[in-house]
């Protein structure tokens, strides 16, 4: 799903304008096609699975008459393509339907659950990036040394240990034994019903309202799950940083810089990392998008009411409106992050900037 906005080299004005227009049109077509494809695939998978959605609404004991009535209300008696067009029309009108599980409009639900995931994923990505990039650079610089081996071990462990197991272990140690962190959920029940969030990002809300005790409590709740997600993305980011850096360190300009007598830290951090940063941005953006999808297992273990849990719950209950709405949001996140990393490319890599 990578889309590139970058146009080629500058030319004459009319041709450039034409290319711009063509570029924007191509970009818009790509977005529309992506959305349409996303909707169609999710919709048809949702309808093909051998689960009766009426069961989810009425349960196992309802009368056949009631079942038939609900089937009709949901439009399930119509041909599949017709159902799809009705759904498409609703979505275009900004209506994602009503969730069977929560009885709320899906949009309301998503506005409610998405900030929980956003907060967690942002925190996690920050941790993963701040630790992962330096570790990756270090591993590349000290290639083959014990440090490199150590970092590889940490990375491999982060990537291969099941996260729910690590989560339970973390809870056992930091919550049950040491009482350093708080659990379960996003906030202690003492605050939960006196604290009115504005943005839904609890940490930000508490700080904005100057409620320091609430902010501290929220921090104690988020730090463990965010660290776990951070560790998970650290593993990936550090491995990728290492390989990008190795690639850069082998380049001639590094040799030239050394010959010129530049200090090693300057070569590594200023020159090599700067060039490695270009592909690294995509890696970090994709890992961020991955976390924004909602880490179902982490959310389950920590009772974190995020979007991953919401979609899984909807799926298990054959609540297709919830699944479709959630998938749409995640698709949008991917598209937006791709777009953003493309834009960042232009800032980081002068070659991609149109003159």
305 touches another protein by CB under 8 A: yes
Q: Considering only 78-86, 203-211, 229-237, 298-306, which stretch makes contact with another protein by CB under 8 A?
A: 298-306
Contact with another protein (CB under 8 A): which of 255, 270, 343, 353? 270
DSSP state of 159: H
Cα separation, 300 vs 296, whole angstroms: 6
Subset of 209-228 contacting another protein (CB under 8 A): 220
How near is the Cβ of 161 to another protein at its closest, in Å? 16
181 touches another protein by CB under 8 A: yes
How near is the Cβ of 354 to another protein at its closest, in Å? 28
Number of residues that bind another protein (CB under 8 A): 65
Helix, strand, coil share of the chain (percent; to 5): 75, 0, 25
Subset of 69-108 contacting another protein (CB under 8 A): 69, 72, 100-104
Cα separation, 341 vs 355, whole angstroms: 20
281 touches another protein by CB under 8 A: no
**Cβ 104 vs Cβ 231: under 8 Å:** no
120: how many CB neighbours lie within 10 A of its CB? 29
Q: Considering only 26-34, 129-137, 196-204, 343-351, which stretch makes contact with another protein by CB under 8 A?
A: 129-137
Of 47, 236, 24, the C-alpha closest to 128 is 236
SS3 state at 306: coil
- Residues of this chain that interact with another protein (CB under 8 A) are 49-52, 55-66, 69, 72, 100-104, 109, 130-131, 134, 137-138, 141, 168, 171-172, 175-176, 178-185, 189-190, 192-193, 220, 265-266, 268-270, 273, 300-303, 305, 309-310, 313, 316-318
């Amino acid at each position: 799903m990578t889309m590139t906005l970058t146009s080629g080299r500058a030319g004459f004005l009319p041709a450039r304008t034409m290319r711009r227009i063509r570029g924007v049109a191509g970009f818009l077509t790509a977005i529309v096609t992506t959305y349409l494809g996303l909707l169609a695939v999710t919709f048809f998978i949702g309808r093909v699975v051998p689960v009766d959605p009426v069961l989810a609404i009425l349960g196992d004991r309802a009368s056949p008459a009631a079942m038939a009535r609900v089937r009709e209300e949901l439009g399930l008696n119509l041909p599949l393509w017709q159902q799809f067009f009705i759904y498409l029309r609703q979505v275009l009108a900004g209506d994602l339907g009503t969730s069977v599980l929560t009885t709320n409009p899906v949009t309301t639900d998503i506005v409610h659950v998405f900030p929980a995931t956003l907060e967690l994923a942002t925190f996690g990505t920050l941790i993963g990036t701040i630790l992962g990039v330096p570790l990756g650079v270090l591993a590349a610089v000290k290639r083959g040394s014990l440090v490199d081996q150590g970092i590889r071990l940490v990375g491999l462990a982060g990537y291969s240990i099941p996260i729910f197991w690590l989560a339970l272990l973390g809870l056992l140690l930091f919550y049950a034994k040491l009482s350093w962190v708080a659990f379960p959920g996003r906030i202690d029940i003492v605050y939960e019903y006196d604290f009115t969030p504005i943005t839904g990002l609890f940490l930000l809300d508490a700080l904005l309202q100057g409620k320091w005790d609430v902010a501290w409590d929220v921090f104690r709740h988020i730090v463990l799950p965010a660290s776990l997600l951070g560790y998970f993305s650290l593993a990936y980011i550090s491995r990728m940083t290492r390989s990008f850096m190795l690639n850069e360190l082998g380049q001639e300009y590094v040799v030239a810089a050394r010959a010129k007598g530049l200090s090693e830290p300057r070569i590594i951090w200023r020159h090599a990392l700067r060039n490695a940063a270009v592909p690294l941005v995509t890696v970090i953006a994709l890992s961020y998008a991955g976390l924004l999808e909602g880490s179902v297992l982490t959310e389950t273990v920590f009772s974190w009411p995020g979007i991953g849990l919401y979609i899984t719950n909807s799926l298990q209950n054959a609540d297709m409106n919830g699944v479709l709405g959630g998938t749409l949001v995640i698709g949008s996140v991917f598209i937006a992050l791709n777009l953003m990393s493309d834009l960042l490319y232009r800032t980081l890599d002068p070659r991609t900037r149109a003159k």
